[in-house]
Amino acid sequence: MTNISLGRVLPVCLTLVGLFFLVSCGAQAPTFEPGNIIVTSEPAGAAIFLDGDDTGFITPHTLTGLDPAIYQVTVELGDFVSFPDTASVVLKPLDTLQVDFSLSQTGFRIQSPVGARILVDGNNTGKIVPAAVAGLEPGTVMVSLDLDGYLVLPEQFEVTILDKEITDIPDDTFSTRSKKTVILEGFSNVSCPPCPQMTDNLVAMAEKPEFTSDRMLFIEFAVSWPELADPFFLANPAENSARYSLYNVLGAPDLYIDGARQANALDAADMENSVLMALESDPGFLVEVIADFSSSTVPVTVTLEPFRDVDLTGHVLFVAIYEKEIVIEPAPGVNGQTVFHHVFRDRVDTLPILGALTAGDHQHFDLTLNRGSAAPEDYVAIAFVQHDINYTILQAGSTTTLAPSPERKHR
């Protein structure tokens, strides 16, 4: 027979008696009704965490049905830093409490040029303009940009980073210039029936944002057939003839892109595709052209600016001027064309022979050309580097080539 100690039985009996007494007197046991926590942030959209677990909700949001307890609430939004870092919430039954977070960033924001990769102290951030680069330490950093097919200047820009602030880099800080400028040469005649279509195609392409003048230039030369009296040919027969003889042009219209003949001078889509393909090359240098058209004798300075070593042995520098637009009424030929664009006027008599370029060592050429009687603002000087035997053109530039601009559209 088991002996049960009175000392053990007595407390149990007293507890049972106490419970019976409470029930019999109508007393109720305490309840634990759930509560709610309202979580907000400025700015909104931050992920909400409760005791370190992602709730799946973003601010602002009310977390409902929470058991009374002490909760640790945090929020996360990209590279933002929250204040407070963590909110400790003592939730009682039926409570509805609100927790507000203030989010801030430490870094910089850049809006232009669109599409450029952002580097900080030479390291790729993985961000693409426009973007904010945050999570940086206060102090100074060197910001640089990388954009396929373009030079971005300046190479680096110093930005001062302030604690819990985003520094805006002005839109005009960085500028771009295409690494490659393609030159198109058209050959036409005022009595060539399809020639106006080639001109229309060239003008239409030049008006598209992806074919700005640092990416594409064009000039038209006149041939002596079918109309020997073509006024543009007669204005400079020797140099027009020299140009079409160089390419052995046998018919009009004819079109050359960087010195290579197009199979169909009237195929606008093929022409644009050929230019886009040519733009993928990087000749390693720029051609800058400055001219003064205030007098009939035009001084022109052409500068070759290499950003790496380039050997231009076997190449020459072709320099010419053209008239932007000429209107002749009635039409001077039988094709009915009255408006003519980028009409060749003059070229340098002796083309400079080129050699090796050294990175950072600019080469300057001072030349003179002769313009016609049109207003000075109607003229453009162009220059391009062409192989003397196979006629491949590596690079071109003009007085209308856009200065580096952060507003440039890229493709």
Among 1-5, 56-60, 67-71, 289-293, the least confident range: 1-5
pLDDT at residue number 314: 98
3-state helix, strand, coil in the chain (%, to 5): 15, 45, 40
Using 50, 70 and 90 to split pLDDT, how confident is the model at 32? Answer: confident
pLDDT digits (tens, 9 = 90+) for 360-381: 999 999 999 999 899 999 999 9
pLDDT digits (tens, 9 = 90+) for 83-142: 999 999 999 999 999 999 999 999 999 999 999 999 999 999 999 999 999 989 999 999
Is 176:404 a contact under the CB 8 Å cutoff? yes
pTM (2 decimals)? 0.76
Which domains are present in the chain?
Answer: 35-104 (2.60.40.1120), 107-174 (2.60.40.1120), 179-398 (2.60.40.10)
Using 50, 70 and 90 to split pLDDT, how confident is the model at 24? Answer: very low
Work out the percent of the chain whose per-residue pLDDT is above 90. 87
Using 50, 70 and 90 to split pLDDT, how confident is the model at 22? Answer: very low
What is the arithmetic mean of pLDDT over 295-315? 97
Three-state secondary structure of 278-334: HCCCCCCEEEEEEECCCCCEEEEEEEEEECCCEECCCEEEEEEEEEEEEECCCCCCC
- Residues in CB range of 145: below 8 A, 6 or more apart: 113, 116, 117, 118, 119, 129, 152, 174
pLDDT at residue number 403: 54
Is 332:230 a contact under the CB 8 Å cutoff? yes
